[in-house]
């Protein structure tokens, strides 16, 4: 039987297969910003820095959603000049972070992220 790490790596590999060249990097991190597994295709991306910053953004976004009584935090999409970053909480134990090209299909990204999120939760628990 595959280890949790191997199963999580397979989730990222499948995500890369689904999104093709639009995906520049993906990782699963703990809510405090530690890398669990990563798949980085863009050479200048640092998985530890990406994990730490994404965890900070998710934590702040979660607090903001509570402050304004907006309901449970779902995800955050950061649109940038050259690339976009999507960070999504995957249960209590992890965050899924993706970096995609600016012109990536966000609808497809959201569908694939939902599938990956369900798989991550089934591996790590909610």
For the chain, what are the domain ranges?
4-124
Domain 4-124: CATH superfamily, name plus number? Dynein light chain 2a, cytoplasmic (3.30.450.30)
Over residues 63-115, the pLDDT tens digits come to 999 999 999 999 999 999 999 999 999 999 999 999 999 999 999 999 999 99
CA dist list (Å): 41 to 8, 16, 26 = 17, 9, 9
Give residue 57's pLDDT. Answer: 97
CB 91 within 8 A of CB 124: yes
pTM: 0.94
The label of the residue with tokens 């569908």 reads 111
Over residues 20-61, the pLDDT tens digits come to 999 999 999 999 999 999 999 888 889 999 999 999 999 999
């Amino acid at each position: 039987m595959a280890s949790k790490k191997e199963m999580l790596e397979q989730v990222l590999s499948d995500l890369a297969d689904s999104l093709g060249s639009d995906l520049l990097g993906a990782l699963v991190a703990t809510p405090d910003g530690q890398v669990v597994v990563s798949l980085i295709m863009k050479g200048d991306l640092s998985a530890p820095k990406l994990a730490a910053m994404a965890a900070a953004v998710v934590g702040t976004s979660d607090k903001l959603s509570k402050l304004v009584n907006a309901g449970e935090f779902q995800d955050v999409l950061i649109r940038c000049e050259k690339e976009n970053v999507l960070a999504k909480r995957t249960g209590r134990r992890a965050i899924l972070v993706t970096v995609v090209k600016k012109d990536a299909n966000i609808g497809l990204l959201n569908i694939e992220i939902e599938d990956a999120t369900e798989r991550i939760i089934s591996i790590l628990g909610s």
